[in-house]
Structure 1
Amino acid sequence: MFERAHSQLGPVFWCDFGFGHDTLIVLGEAGMEVFRSKATNSSHLAQLETFLGKSMLVVDGPDHKRMRGASGHAFTPAGLRRAKVGDIIGETVARRLGEWQGRERVPVVVDTRTIALEVIFRVMGVEVDDLQAWSKWYGEYTLGALNLPLEFPGTPLWRAKRARRWLDERIRKMITTARSKDDHDSLVGAMVHGRDDQGAGMSEAELIDNLLILGFAGHETTASTMAWSMIHLAHHPEYWDQLREQATALDGVPRDFKVLAERVPIAVGIFRESLRLYPPVAQDTRLVHAPFEIAGYRVSPGSTVGTSLMLLSRSPDLYEQPERWLPERWVDRERKPTPVENCQFGGGAHFCLGYHMALLEGTMFLVQAARTLAAWGVRPAPAGAMPKPRFLPLVQPPRKAELRLEKAR
């Protein structure tokens, strides 16, 4: 739709998303100003109260800075090491991939979601035996992201509120446990006891809201990119061979992203390229609260402005052959990705808190997959045509997408 609008109307146009949600869409690099400008904020997301609560995704200014400051240390590479996140990822991925042995076809979308779900819940302290229930209620809770105002038994909003009550109760118990044990090292414990530079932390309600979003963002987005990576590897055996060669040259799977990037650079390239083509959040918006100029237009306060992260990620001004999956774009580079190249993680003050964890988990998964399948003498192969993405609530492959495992050549 945005591509068609661009061809007919140019890079700036109004879009009516229904229910009174008129949004000024600004495409291209100019759209990144939506995230950088102090004249915009995320307060319009408060209408998604059931889904987002008053998490740091919704608030701005001092409250956002306080929440971010109290949580940020837990998500740095050092914080992830303290919480032993790499060990949790490694053990979970190895065990779950082991279930593929002897199978001719695997439901890659379902299985990567299961892996990512178990990883984030184990990091949060959820017992593995409870994963099925958590998965069920999280699936119901995410219906709140659809932002449909109708509420009566059976509607998405009604189901989301019911799930939220179940999840709130259990996350509250996790917070109480972290406090009673004086846990500062686990990810939840670090957030519970975290303080910003002024010594301020988060209230229990803020912790619940932010941990809920952490559970959602920590598995749905990473799982989607891992699935796309494996689907493309099945269709591009030349990249699988590169990945297998680099991964099997290791004695084991490193738990540190810097080491992974040095020893298996193609794995990083594969994950980043899949993320580029299929950013889980296809577009993002902000509310204008002060006179704001963007792309040569002056926008009045009260307007909603957004940009398409998918089209920015596929811009011919930024990438050669932008529609092609070319992992080598990200290999042997002497610089870090720019903010525009990292747009899939958002921008400005709301840049994704889980950036380091997503890269670590996605890369470890690909390295472990290559080592595991190589040890069995098999490789991924297509189970049909390249699937088309679905866009709601996130950009994902069809749930029924599969891979074949065939004997290695």
Structure 2
Amino acid sequence: MDSPSNPFGRKRTVALLNSLPGITPFSQHAILRFQFIRPGTRREAEGVYRIVQVPLSYTFQHMRCLISFLFGGDHEDMQKMVDMDQYEDEERGHFFEVRKKIVMYQPKYRQATIRSGEPWIRLSSAKDPYRYKADWDFDDDKDGESVCGSEEEQEPSEEEEDPWRWEAEDELTLANLWPDAKHPDFDRGIIYYHTCSTRDERPTQVHITYDRSITQRRKGRGNAPYVFRARGDVFISPLADLGPSETRDKFEYPLMQMSRHLWNDPSNAFARYLHRKAVLPIPDFDDDEDQVEVEVENSYMSTPGLTTSPSSPMSSSSIPLSSFLYTFPKHTPGPRPSQRKRIRYMSKRLERSGRGEAVKKLRHVLEREESPVDDMEKRRVIASERGYQSEEI
């Protein structure tokens, strides 16, 4: 049965998506700069940005909703965030990259823009880890707006270790990146790639780094983001109401100094935005129930000696078969698509490692039909899997 304590259940997903984490002191919040980058467009060095105080307890699902909140994201776009099945095979979905030892562009050229960095973590509820390599790495475009991602970052061979680590958006928090808010690691940064409308479109990026320009410190406690400064009025999501002769330039003002009260007033503005956008659709189980009934009926029909004649106990019963099915819980909650993807991804990595080779060897030994399995051989394989020497058995 689905319950709030079930880590794979939909109720827990809803609770995570439409609520903020607990209140923490402002000393445990990070002051981050969100630098907006749209490939193919020229910009000034300062660019479009938001400087925001964010609780370190925010997960990356909170961060994605926050990015949409800060940069005029479409309401319908946030609905796609929680529709996991819709993005099961989506190749244009969003994703996060977390990099260590980042190198920034010169401030006079491009402020707060990550030029390169050491691969570390990738997160996405939309992309399949088995297919992301070709679509996730972007070369520099003509204007140099798409950074991070080069020909050197090719898919590793079977012998090589993947430099990226796959994590879940609803589990990893900012505190995992910056554990110490008083002495943060400024060499770590995040790049968010927004969902593309078409396969040929280059994704809009938001570079997130620790900001050192804000010396003002707020006192108190809270769990909501607080905007210190903002520049540029843009829309991260496509504008659906544009006419055939209209462009984004007619509605966007990238040089405008924005008032922070647009996001800070009222104080629960982001909480209301999060609650309004993160609504999971009600699942439709009718098709699944019909399929279960058909499968059960066919299984009885295929049983030797069982017929549907009037003398059959199954046909003479006045209680329909479906009544027995509905006596018990009809659906056992299973892992979400993002969970299944991570499990498959980790299984693939284990196959590449030495432990994976030991598992293969043990499976081969156990499946041999010609000769019985020697106990010492079993123990030797198991010891090899655990990293022990065979002499120590």
Give the TM-score normalised by structure 2. 0.20
Report the TM-score, using the length of structure 1 for normalisation.
0.19
More strand as a share of residues: 2
